[in-house]
Structure 1
């Protein structure tokens, strides 16, 4: 199976890509350090523009809240404590969402007096997080959580939504390590498909509610091919199984996340598309899923497949504009039904696969990768006809006749024991570059989801839903899966994959 050849990008490289920062506020120790940056490096000291209302608006819209991910720090959670811990983690997400909303609603005041970010946003948030982390530590017996410095959050700057068209366009060639590629056909990376969108001001208008930047979009033709496929060995499992579950034509959506926040309504703070199991919401038990209906043609597949919706921006809002997960969580725009959705299970290039356990949970990607860093980011973006060029941290601008493609490669190695883990990650793993699983893990059929959209080729025209403080960045894209195959159908999947056949 194809694998993106990734260049390592540490979290510390993000400021390199900033051209404008606003109220970079750091809460630590006993107080607040405030630093204000009022000019883009590309402005060359043009101070006459620095105080304009337009520039001040830009500065106000590019900051967000950055909090350590408490869930990723959990090593074990006793079964008896799981529901309490899940509830506390969901509360922590809500605390961040509420704090971001308070920040967004008071941008003007905070811009004039950055110290207000401490008193209005960061200090109250730290107090709430300290209490929640203490409860989690007590419930799990992980007393060291209290000493890990997870409670304080910071204000950080995001890419400016208009300066990328002016500043030399480094980083437009795709993933980091390809800066300055430019277009292969002599055009710059911002040129194709944007048409007469009204320029910088029109972009800022369409993306202002989302926090997007021009740097979040790139012409796919300027990206070099970057997909590496490990060679298949003699014992490889080269078959595949395709499950036709539709493309959510019936519009099953909710802002829940039954894996990460079971029992919590609006646990995701963004809207998900669902295919497969039709009984899935925050309150679904394994029994509910086993009894639920399915959109899959083969009724033996009652698995749950879900991902954040994609929205068109600047063209009106959907029916959830005043609802949780929608407009109340800063997710606005018209939800787009995929033009195509393909679910395939493929094998291992180094050996045979074993059956997945029923109710196995897998999350690929990281919904908080913009603030967490990209260590767990895994979803990729491309265009039809260009799928040997994959983007992890940018949205593609596709040429005429080409459609946007999202691809999720799920973890293909299982620890052989657990259907979930405390951080929802360590019970599964990715194979290495050669396709081999880590020691102690077994190869399972790898789920590959390919979702196609017919979207405008204009920067700022579309984005995925996200937690509000994640600013709809493409690097936050992610997919979720719960295995609810019948035992009989799972045996067929394994047999097809291991025998080299293509089945459906």
Structure 2
């Protein structure tokens, strides 16, 4: 199936990537290729695929912890605790004794374990590239397809160790995540709602609510891309375990009328309007026509300082590249994470609101968190085969 209409939605961060979402839409052209169960609703963004391929077993060599003591005082100031409680909790099977073993995670500037990182880079450089089938595309990316896991008013990046101190978040990926989750916990409790299972990471966004009913609208598809945004992959390195990042601004509360940056959009096959055939009464939310549903896409930085796994604002240790290169302050080229999120909703006159902006009921506070933890061998192999070699991969390797 091909796309017959596309206009780039104004959904993305940084100005350095003006053509990114158009590239992402083109990327979807090859996504229906394997013997799969396909759920695809696309215009600028894609969807959720469940691949029928056999999953490789996780490697025993993975997950040397990369987190060490903070290199500066803990300067993060979490928000005041609320009385909100989770309406869904992490799987009990995934957290057999988590409460008894978890420690308060570090905050502020979190220094990299340089020895563990050097071991990963050395293994990456020594790794041989697997020959790619002739049919493989040239989009430098691999991915994880995730399903909704649980909902909690927690944020182990912004408010570590403080249950209930956040607005409500919807989590995908690692099923054991709560406010007290530290990097080592992601390696101990590895049950995941993502494929491949070698991705132990946690990803989360503010919960979306139906404004008419007050009920949550959880994601029906959550694809996490790891890709190159540059025209070459010279110097490309894998993602370090324990890296955490935030994109977007939870405090932004500006209207999101038709055509503005940072709005939800309608994804569809064929002709249609990404801004919807109509808008909610307050103008902030599209109402989709045909078979289209609400989507949101957000992109994380692709350059890293090589020294810290986190920073006080959860952004200063990473940066967006420009001109096919990383800035001197952030010289390490890492795969760029992109969230491609699908919601089982078409839009209504009453519209929606995010947990991060219940009063304003705009989409401008939409943001995403990524707490990275992969089987090291899998991360290295995917980065080398797919991103460095600039070949298209799915959840399990080369997309055939």
Structure 2 residue 198 is matched with structure 1 residue 300? yes
Secondary structure of 1:475's counterpart equals coil
Q: Check whether the contact 2:140–2:227 (CA below 8 A) recurs between aligned residues.
A: yes
Q: In structure 2, what is the equivalent of residue 239 of structure 1?
A: 140
How has the CA–CA distance of structure 1 residues 400 and 361 changed in structure 2, closer, same or farther, with 3 Å as cutoff? same
Structure 2 residue 376 is matched with structure 1 residue 493? no
- The structural deviation recorded for 1:429 is 1.2
TM-score (norm 2): 0.59
Q: Check whether the contact 1:384–1:402 (CA below 8 A) recurs between aligned residues.
A: yes
Aligned pair partner of 2:231 in 350, 357, 363 = 350
Q: Structure 2 CA distance, aligned partners of 1:449 and 1:8?
A: 14
Q: Structure 1 CA distance, aligned partners of 2:13 and 2:310?
A: 29
Q: Structure 1 CA distance, aligned partners of 2:12 and 2:299?
A: 14
Secondary structure of 1:450's counterpart equals strand
Q: Structure 2 CA distance, aligned partners of 1:467 and 1:313?
A: 12
- The structural deviation recorded for 1:80 is 6.8
- The structural deviation recorded for 1:488 is 0.5
Q: Structure 2 CA distance, aligned partners of 1:481 and 1:256?
A: 14
- The structural deviation recorded for 1:340 is 1.9
Structure 2 residue 80 is matched with structure 1 residue 94? yes
Structure 2 residue 327 is matched with structure 1 residue 438? yes
Q: Which runs of 5+ in 2 are unaligned?
A: 1-7, 16-68, 84-107, 110-137, 255-259, 277-282, 396-400
Q: Structure 2 CA distance, aligned partners of 1:78 and 1:341?
A: 32
Q: Check whether the contact 1:380–1:407 (CA below 8 A) recurs between aligned residues.
A: no
RMSD of aligned C-alpha atoms? Answer: 3.5
Q: Which has the higher contact order (CA 8 A, sep 6+)?
A: 2
How has the CA–CA distance of structure 1 residues 341 and 80 changed in structure 2, closer, same or farther, with 3 Å as cutoff? closer
Structure with bigger helix share is: 1
* Structure 1 segment 256-275 matched on structure 2, within 5 A: 256-268=154-166, 270-275=167-172
How has the CA–CA distance of structure 1 residues 361 and 296 changed in structure 2, closer, same or farther, with 3 Å as cutoff? same
Q: Check whether the contact 1:466–1:472 (CA below 8 A) recurs between aligned residues.
A: no
TM-score (norm 1): 0.47
Secondary structure of 2:195's counterpart equals coil
Aligned pair partner of 1:282 in 179, 193, 202 = 179
In terms of Rg, which structure is larger? 1
Q: In structure 2, what is the equivalent of residue 168 of structure 1?
A: none
- The structural deviation recorded for 1:8 is 11
Structure 2 residue 222 is matched with structure 1 residue 341? yes
Secondary structure of 2:308's counterpart equals coil
Q: Structure 1 CA distance, aligned partners of 2:224 and 2:343?
A: 15
Q: In structure 1, what is the equivalent of residue 365 of structure 2?
A: 476
Q: Give the length in aligned residue pairs.
A: 265
